[in-house]
């Protein structure tokens, strides 16, 4: 709208200037006739010639004023379509006329300054998207490489221990069988977790993830998850605890998605910290319901915190074979789908605190 109004205002100004110029020529010719310097019979011929030349000059200059920025913007759009995400060099298309053409005409793109600003913003946005896409592609390649390795490692354990158990050359004691089966079970859980994370990721990206909210006693729900995780072989050597001063709190959540989110968060606290780490899960209620997952483990640095919820992010410094690099991203996605929020605070050697806020609560 601003461009249109600016165009109308400028066009009226030019027409007014041309009208005053022609009026001046008309008065000048009348004066020449009065002084007998030209013949009255030739007045209309002179006037037509001067007015015609003036109009042609006006039309040419004004067309140049309008067309030059259009050519520049068209070339800019052409560059973008060819993948050249940069502002093209602004040039005068008739360099030989640079000294003849007034400065205000040579700077004619200023007339389209609003449109040019939008083009600059579009170019910047496309450049940023291209850079982010490259980073994402690189992260995907690194993630796929890491996951392939993570799948091979537990599979090698399964193959080795199962072949040993099937061998008749050695008689296994019950304790040895139990330990071997425990390792096989643990590694199968790793593979299952990796595959499930990938399936959930693809469902989320394709929009196939369905959310089914049902009324649940969140206290019992979270407590059962903590008990299941505490009984997992992965949690052996870790101190898991559950605390709350609320006996009953009903709210609508998707049990499957929330179970997966909380399990991922607790699992991260286990696999990224050494045995002996204290991990506490607590629930508090004050208008909103908050779930806290705290540990006194190794903590995280600022770079890890910054990329924590990015898909395919795997920090080799903190990552172990149990992690797919998708757990935090999936947990955040599921919590948000249940109308919640998640935040993380952490410091090196001071542990990590995860806060989950769920607002869609019912009175209890």
Task: Indicate the number of domains in the chain.
Answer: 3
CATH number for position 224: 3.30.565.10
Tens-digit pLDDT profile for residues 223-255: 999 999 998 888 889 999 999 988 888 888 988
Residues 188 and 222 in one domain: no
Residues 251, 327: contact at Cβ < 8 Å? no
Mean pLDDT calculated for residue range 22-45: 67
Residues 95 and 8 in one domain: yes
pLDDT at 322: 47
Distance, in Å, from the CA atom of 150 to the CA atom of 157, rounded to the nearest integer, reads: 11
Residues 169 and 261 in one domain: no
Residues 66 and 166 in one domain: no
Residues 198 and 228 in one domain: no
341 sits in which H/E element: strand 340-347
Mean pLDDT calculated for residue range 299-306: 86
pLDDT at 364: 44
243 sits in which H/E element: strand 239-244
Q: How far apart are the first and last CA of the chain?
A: 55
pTM: 0.53
In a domain, 75, yes or no: yes
Residues 75 and 194 in one domain: no
pLDDT at 93: 46
Distance, in Å, from the CA atom of 218 to the CA atom of 201, rounded to the nearest integer, reads: 25
Q: Which residue range forms the structural domain that includes residue 351?
A: 214-358
Residues in CB range of 1: below 8 A, 6 or more apart: none
Residues 100 and 234 in one domain: no
In a domain, 124, yes or no: no
Model confidence at 184: pLDDT above 80:
yes
Residues 350 and 242 in one domain: yes
Distance, in Å, from the CA atom of 34 to the CA atom of 43, rounded to the nearest integer, reads: 11
Residues 182 and 243 in one domain: no
pLDDT at 85: 76
Residues 64, 108: contact at Cβ < 8 Å? yes
Model confidence at 88: pLDDT above 80:
no
Closest of 64, 116, 114 to residue 90, by C-alpha: 116
| Structure-token match 């009026």, residue found | 23
Residue 312, class by beta-carbon neighbours within 10 Å (0-12 exposed, 13-18 middle, 19+ buried)?
Answer: buried
Query: Which residue did the predictor score with more confidence, 167 or 294?
Result: 294
């Amino acid at each position: 709208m601003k461009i249109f109004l600016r165009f109308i205002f400028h066009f009226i100004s030019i027409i007014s200037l041309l009208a005053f110029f022609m009026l001046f020529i008309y008065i000048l010719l009348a004066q020449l006739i009065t002084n007998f310097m030209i013949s009255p019979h030739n007045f209309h011929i002179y006037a037509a010639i001067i007015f015609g030349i003036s109009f042609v000059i006006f039309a040419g200059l004004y067309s140049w004023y309008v067309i030059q920025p259009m050519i520049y913007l068209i070339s800019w759009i052409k560059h973008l379509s060819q993948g050249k995400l940069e502002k093209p060099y602004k040039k005068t298309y008739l360099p030989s006329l640079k000294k003849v053409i007034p400065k205000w005409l040579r700077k004619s793109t200023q007339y389209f300054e609003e449109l040019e600003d939008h083009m600059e913003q579009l170019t910047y946005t496309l450049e940023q998207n291209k850079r982010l896409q490259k980073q994402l592609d690189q992260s995907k390649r690194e993630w796929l490489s890491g996951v392939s390795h993570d799948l091979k490692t537990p599979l090698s354990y399964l193959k080795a221990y199962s072949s040993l158990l099937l061998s008749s050359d050695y008689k296994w004691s019950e304790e040895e069988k139990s330990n071997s089966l425990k390792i096989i079970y643990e590694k199968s859980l790793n593979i299952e977790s990796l595959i499930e994370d990938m399936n959930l990721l693809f469902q989320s990206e394709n929009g196939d993830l369905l959310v089914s909210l049902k009324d649940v006693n969140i206290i019992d729900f979270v407590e059962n998850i903590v008990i299941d995780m505490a009984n997992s072989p992965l949690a052996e050597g870790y101190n898991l605890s559950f605390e709350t001063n609320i006996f009953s709190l009903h709210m609508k959540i998707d049990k499957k998605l929330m179970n997966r989110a909380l399990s991922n968060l607790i699992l991260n606290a286990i696999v990224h910290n050494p045995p002996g780490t204290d991990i506490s899960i607590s629930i508090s209620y004050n208008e909103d319901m908050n779930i806290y997952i705290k540990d006194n483990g190794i903590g995280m640095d600022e770079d890890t915190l910054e990329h924590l919820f990015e898909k395919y992010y795997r920090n080799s410094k903190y990552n172990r074979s149990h992690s797919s690099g998708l757990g935090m991203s999936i947990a955040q996605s599921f919590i948000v789908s249940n109308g919640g929020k998640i935040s993380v605070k952490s410091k090196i050697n001071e542990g990590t605190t995860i806060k989950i806020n769920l607002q869609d609560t019912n009175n209890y």
